[in-house]
Amino acid sequence: MSVTTAPGMDAETFDQFLDQLERYVRERLIPAETEVIANDRIPDDIVAEMKEMGLFGLTVPEDFGGAGLNTTQYAKVVQTMAYAAPAYRSIFSINVGMFNSAIKNGGTDAQKAEWWPRIAEGAIACFGLTEPGSGSDSAAMATTARPDPEGNGWIINGTKRYITNAPHADVGLIMARTEKDAQPKNAHVSAFIVPMDTPGVSTSSPDKKMGQAGSHISDIMLDDVHVPGDALLGEQTGQGFRFAMMSLDNGRISVGAASTGYARRALDSALKYANERQAFGEPIANFQLIQQMLSESWTEIYAAEAMMADVTARVDRGENTVKHAAAFKVFASEMCGRVVDRVVQIYGGAGYLAEYDAERFFRDARIYRIYEGTTQILQLQIAKHMLRDYAAGL
């Protein structure tokens, strides 16, 4: 059987882009972290630079103004960006990993022609699935979309919760119930492309969070929001949850790549500290139990990088990667949690002080085990697909 691999950007050009990005992260983004944390926002000039570099349209096809990266290349970009403060990745990753993926998988030609150029130019997207009373349980979704009696459009009502980028997004992909119930399962959920300046759309004040300063989440309130018929993704009802789940595979790869990049940043910080910190007349890096924590962390990061290479190659070959994407996200996010915990331990008492980076790494990393599906939900999903494959003799 022949397998077609997603071509992506020319390899030499991509390597040059990645080298440039690594310098940008170290010379521009990391020095600006203090300002990002102090003001809880990314400076406007840095956002403008990121848009100019094409980070908001990484996987948008070149014909529509994007960079046309394949999934392997996109994950490497995320990993590179995630070496700096998480807010830098967060502001563009919803565009690429979630919104653009849904448009690619479920959008009509007209929707692609309308939204891909906007995304490539730097329009900021958000993804509205979670609600006050539902997250992974779509059956409990309360947001509704009913046909507009005065036209061919829809009227959306409901509330979405914990939506990344919502306070400053230009467009949202909103999941809403279009049927009371339907078969097959989840066919009651449809997806709508909703400009955030549509009358009736509002957002709450950004939520105060444990970490990830500069990355903003909030509620989205939809009060009799009228959208035209072509706002329905794919112009088909009952497909929203399927498109959302397909997008979440990319989102989970993004979170896994971010976890891997941030774990590397934390470990590099611990390695530097262990060589500088003196105890008993020598660097603590000479102590074997410190070396154990360093080596365990390096080994786990290496394993996550190997998983990332495998799952992204599978995506680019067109394989079904539900299990693989979930497994990578689970392992990488849990790995990052273990690494930052060791990093705090290596720093010792200093690791508990806000003036050192270790404390921030610890707080920032915690959300990765919750984003885009908790570890526990994904473990259930992996097992479900394992059992399904076994029953099918695969």
Q: Please report how the helices 240-276 and 71-81 are oriented relative to each other, as an axis angle in degrees rounded to 10.
A: 40
Q: Which residues pair with 154 in a beta bridge?
A: 147, 227
**pLDDT above 90 (res 22):** yes
CB atoms within 10 A of CB 104: 17
Q: Please report how the helices 375-391 and 322-347 are oriented relative to each other, as an axis angle in degrees rounded to 10.
A: 150
Token digits of residue 147 = 């046909």
**pLDDT above 70 (res 132):** yes
In degrees rounded to 5, what are phi and psi of residue 371?
A: -45, 140
Q: Is 137 exposed, middle or buried (0-12, 13-18, 19+ CB in 10 A)?
A: exposed
How far, in Å, CA of 153 to CA of 145, rounded? 10
How far, in Å, CA of 244 to CA of 175, rounded? 8
Q: Please, what CATH class does the domain formed by 11-124 belong to?
A: mainly alpha
Residue 182 and residue 240 in contact, taking contact as beta carbons nearer than 8 Å: no
**pLDDT above 50 (res 70):** yes
**pLDDT above 90 (res 114):** yes
pLDDT of residue 3: 43
Question: Tens digit of pLDDT for each residue in 313-337?
Answer: 999 999 999 999 999 999 999 999 9
State the average pLDDT over residues 302-306: 98
Confidence of residue 96 (pLDDT cuts 50, 70, 90): confident
CA dihedral of residues 312, 314, 320, 325 (deg, nearest 10): -30
**pLDDT above 60 (res 2):** no
How far, in Å, CA of 172 to CA of 94, rounded? 10
* Lookup result for tokens 């959008």: 107
Confidence of residue 271 (pLDDT cuts 50, 70, 90): very high
Token digits of residue 330 = 């689970």
How far, in Å, CA of 288 to CA of 192, rounded? 56
State the average pLDDT over residues 198-216: 94
CATH code linked to domain 242-391: 1.20.140.10
| Structure letter (DSSP) for residue 99 | I
Average pLDDT over all residues of the chain? 92
**pLDDT above 70 (res 5):** no
Residue 129 and residue 136 in contact, taking contact as beta carbons nearer than 8 Å: no
Residue 361 and residue 212 in contact, taking contact as beta carbons nearer than 8 Å: no
* Pairing assessment for the beta strands 154-164 and 171-177 based on DSSP bridges: unpaired
In degrees rounded to 5, what are phi and psi of residue 290?
A: -65, -45
State the average pLDDT over residues 69-80: 96
pLDDT of residue 100: 87
Length of the chain: 394
Alpha helix (H) residue ranges in the chain: 11-24, 33-39, 44-52, 71-81, 86-93, 100-106, 109-121, 240-276, 288-316, 322-347, 357-365, 375-391
Confidence of residue 245 (pLDDT cuts 50, 70, 90): confident
CB atoms within 10 A of CB 229: 12
Handedness of CA 186, 366, 102, 322 (dihedral sign): negative
State the average pLDDT over residues 65-86: 95
208 residue type, one letter: K
Token digits of residue 89 = 């990745």
State the average pLDDT over residues 103-126: 92
Domain boundary assignment for the chain: 11-124, 126-241, 242-391
How far, in Å, CA of 224 to CA of 232, rounded? 16
Question: Tens digit of pLDDT for each residue in 137-184?
Answer: 666 789 999 999 888 899 999 999 999 999 999 999 999 999 877 666
pTM: 0.92
Does residue 337 come out as left (phi exceeding 0), alpha (psi in the -120 to 50 range) or beta?
Answer: alpha
> What's the fold here for domain 126-241?
Butyryl-CoA Dehydrogenase, subunit A; domain 2 (2.40.110)
Query: Which is higher by pLDDT, 267 or 97?
Result: 267
pLDDT of residue 241: 75
Alpha helix (H) residue ranges in 163-239: none
Distance from chain centroid for Cα 284: 36
Mark whether 372 is an active-site residue. yes
State the average pLDDT over residues 292-297: 98
Residue 101 and residue 73 in contact, taking contact as beta carbons nearer than 8 Å: no
